Amino acid sequence: MRLARVEGLPYPDSCIPASDFPVTLSTSPPVRPIRPLERAFFDRSPRRVARELLGKVLVRDGGRLPLAARIVEVEAYLGEADPAAHAAAGNTARTSVLFGPPGRAYVYFIYGNHYCLNVSCEREGKAGSVLFRAVEPLLGIEKMARARGIPLQGPRDLPKLTSGPGRLAEAFGITRTRDNSRDLTSPNSGLWIGEDGWRAGNIQITPRIGISKAANEPLRYMLAGNAFVSGRKTPARD
């Protein structure tokens, strides 16, 4: 599938077809610049950072072809007092990034197969993070498909690229060795988070996915109706 054919996809109203997305990156003309988020953005509670990350853009531009995707689903992990957070184990070799300065990548390996990407929040010395659960591809769709090992035969295949924390990490080539502790506020870093003026529409909040402790806390944030959200797309009914 070529980028041009992505036009006309049944994207939700809140989203822009990838081929219409104007950005400033090393290989495309500056039309609507993506500005990196400042460190102060992340120096706040995970709840606020999570909610405000919706609609922002994750960018990988170290290689020849840049990748960009809009953030559509995240979860907040509150630090040492949150039993579901890795920081609950304290400051260890694995979790030290969570206790470091805000705006850094915390990448961990899970279930023997997958990497997951977080960004650290709160001031240095205080743990807290936001897990990236799903993004919507904007640039570099074919490259993401190659990284995922998925043949793109039609629009319906697109969510398989980046819908889920393990999937988006694979699509972006994110690994612990390569990316853990990377500064996500610097465009020179090769992996960073920016904003392009796009505004999130309706936001839905539900309990987090795949955890056993603090399983009912409403700490999962997503764009309502977005096709790239993973798992349950609405709050559970009683």
Nearest CB to DNA, comparing residues 144 and 200 = 144
Helical H segments across the chain, by residue range:
39-42, 46-53, 96-99, 141-148, 159-162, 165-171, 176-179
Residue with tokens 């070799």: 93
Please give the Cα distance from 175 to 122 (Å, whole number).
23
**Footprint on residues 204-223 left by DNA (CB under 7 A):** 208-212
Q: Quick one: which of 42, 59, 95, 172 contacts DNA (CB under 7 A)?
A: 95
Asked if residue 75 binds DNA (CB under 7 A), the reply is: yes
Asked if residue 230 binds DNA (CB under 7 A), the reply is: yes
**Footprint on residues 1-40 left by DNA (CB under 7 A):** none
Asked if residue 93 binds DNA (CB under 7 A), the reply is: yes
Residues 6+ apart with CB under 8 A from 14: 200, 201, 202, 223, 224, 225, 226
Q: Quick one: which of 11, 21, 42, 77 contacts DNA (CB under 7 A)?
A: 77
Q: Quick one: which of 69, 104, 118, 135 contacts DNA (CB under 7 A)?
A: 118
Q: Quick one: which of 10, 112, 125, 151 contacts DNA (CB under 7 A)?
A: 112
Query: Checking DSSP bridges between strand 57-60 and strand 114-120, what pairing results, if any?
Result: unpaired
Binding part of the chain for DNA, among 35-43, 164-172, 184-192, 196-204 by CB under 7 A, reads: 164-172
CA 209 to chain centre: 15
Nearest CB to DNA, comparing residues 43 and 75 = 75
Asked if residue 166 binds DNA (CB under 7 A), the reply is: yes
Distances (CA, A) of 64 to 18, 23, 25, 174: 18, 16, 11, 16
Hey, CA dihedral for 234, 120, 163, 8, is it positive or negative? Answer: positive
Nearest CB to DNA, comparing residues 32 and 232 = 232
In the complex, the residues that contact DNA under the rule CB under 7 A are 75, 77, 84-87, 89, 92-95, 106, 108-114, 116, 118, 129, 131, 133, 148, 160, 164-168, 176, 208-212, 230
